């Protein structure tokens, strides 16, 4: 029997989000989405987490972080720990966003360590995976994603093996589609989402059936409906279009 996975739309603000944006955008989106049958997640920069957390208190919306330290505490200048995120009301954190991987050099092993730290702290990691244009064009999409998933699976032993994926989320974000205005077609995205679910099903079919897999990469209000209608696409990770209340709310509407 096929499970019904509740859709999630997450807005990754990246390095945007001054107090004026928080004050304008968050209440508008909260009001526009309150009767929808889906979940909404705001992912602002660290400096806006407290303010967004306050704005979403007692609403249907959640707040999450863009990354997290793999270390619990100590002399790690510039890092933010899981406990700090919990104190700010974060229920989720991205790990392995392609900008963290390509600009800041995070390896698959680094991302896996962050995934493990989040899980151990009770924060659900949203594991971002995706291939570059060069990998896609040379037919290496599945191998790339397989390596990104496998690095996480390799560290899950200490939290019950594949059970450690329970409740976690995967975001498939083809690197060539992020911030480029070039979206994967619904068929291209669905094919990779099905591949990810099949890979996880080899470890545990129940967890695979429940796993939310988000699509990210130039999602907007025009293409969201077709993407979210695909069998294995359970919502979206939205960058640019999450900074405008109308666009983000319309994308949430397309998921409900």
Q: Which residues are catalytic?
A: 97, 173
Rounded Cα distance, 68 and 162, in Å: 22
8-47: which residues touch ligand PEP (CB under 6 A)?
12, 14
Query: Which of 148, 156 has the CB closer to ligand PEP?
Result: 148
Rounded Cα distance, 193 and 251, in Å: 19
231: tokens are: 């069998």
Task: Pick the binder of ligand PEP from 51, 178, 207, 251 (CB under 6 A).
Answer: 178
Q: Does the protein bind ligand PEP through residue 173 (CB under 6 A)?
A: yes
Strands (E), the chain: 8-12, 39-43, 61-65, 92-95, 124-129, 169-172, 212-216, 235-238
Least Cβ distance, residue 160 to ligand PEP (angstroms): 29
Least Cβ distance, residue 17 to ligand PEP (angstroms): 13
Residues 6+ apart with CB under 8 A from 41: 8, 9, 10, 11, 61, 62, 63, 64, 92
Q: Does the protein bind ligand PEP through residue 108 (CB under 6 A)?
A: no
Q: Does the protein bind ligand PEP through residue 179 (CB under 6 A)?
A: yes
197-226: which residues touch ligand PEP (CB under 6 A)?
216-219
Least Cβ distance, residue 201 to ligand PEP (angstroms): 25
34: tokens are: 């309150």
Residue number of the CB closest to ligand PEP reads 239
Residues 6+ apart with CB under 8 A from 33: 40, 60, 61, 249, 252, 253
Task: Pick the binder of ligand PEP from 164, 240, 244, 252 (CB under 6 A).
Answer: 240
Rounded Cα distance, 26 and 135, in Å: 37
Task: Pick the binder of ligand PEP from 56, 113, 238, 254 (CB under 6 A).
Answer: 238
Candidates 85-93, 195-203, 223-231, 235-243: pick the segment binding ligand PEP (CB under 6 A). Answer: 235-243
Instruction: Judge contact between 151 and 129, C-beta under 8 A.
Output: no
Q: Does the protein bind ligand PEP through residue 81 (CB under 6 A)?
A: no
Number of Cβ within a 10 Å radius of residue 71: 14
Q: Does the protein bind ligand PEP through residue 237 (CB under 6 A)?
A: yes
Least Cβ distance, residue 34 to ligand PEP (angstroms): 23
Least Cβ distance, residue 43 to ligand PEP (angstroms): 9
**Helices 186-201 and 141-154, interaxial angle, to 10°?**
40
For ligand PEP (CB under 6 A), the number of binding residues is 14
Beta-bridge partners for 93 = 65, 125
Binding site for ligand PEP (CB under 6 A): 12, 14, 173, 178-179, 216-219, 237-241
């Amino acid at each position: 029997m096929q499970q019904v996975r509740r859709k999630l739309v997450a807005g990754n603000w990246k390095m945007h989000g001054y107090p004026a944006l928080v004050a304008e955008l968050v209440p508008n989106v909260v009001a526009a989405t309150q009767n929808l049958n889906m979940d909404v997640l705001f992912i602002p920069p660290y400096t806006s987490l407290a303010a967004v957390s306050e704005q979403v208190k007692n609403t249907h919306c959640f707040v999450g972080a863009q990354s997290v330290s793999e270390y619990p505490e100590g002399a790690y200048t510039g890092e933010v720990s899981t406990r700090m995120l919990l104190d700010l009301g974060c229920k989720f954190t991205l790990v392995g966003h392609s900008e963290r991987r390509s600009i800041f050099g995070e390896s698959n092993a680094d991302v896996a360590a962050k995934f493990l730290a989040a899980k151990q702290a009770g924060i659900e990691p949203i594991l971002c995976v995706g291939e570059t244009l060069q990998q896609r064009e040379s037919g290496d999409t599945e191998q790339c994603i397989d390596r990104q998933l496998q690095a996480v699976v390799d560290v899950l032993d200490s939290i019950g093996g594949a059970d450690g994926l329970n409740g976690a989320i995967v975001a498939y974000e083809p690197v060539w589609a992020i911030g480029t205005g070039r979206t994967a077609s619904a068929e291209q995205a669905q094919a990779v989402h099905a591949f990810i679910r099949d890979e996880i099903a080899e470890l545990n079919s129940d967890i695979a059936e429940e796993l939310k897999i988000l699509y990210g990469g130039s999602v907007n209000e025009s293409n969201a409906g077709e993407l979210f209608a695909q069998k294995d696409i359970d919502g979206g990770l939205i960058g640019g279009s999450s900074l405008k209340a109308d666009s983000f709310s319309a994308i949430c509407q397309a998921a409900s």
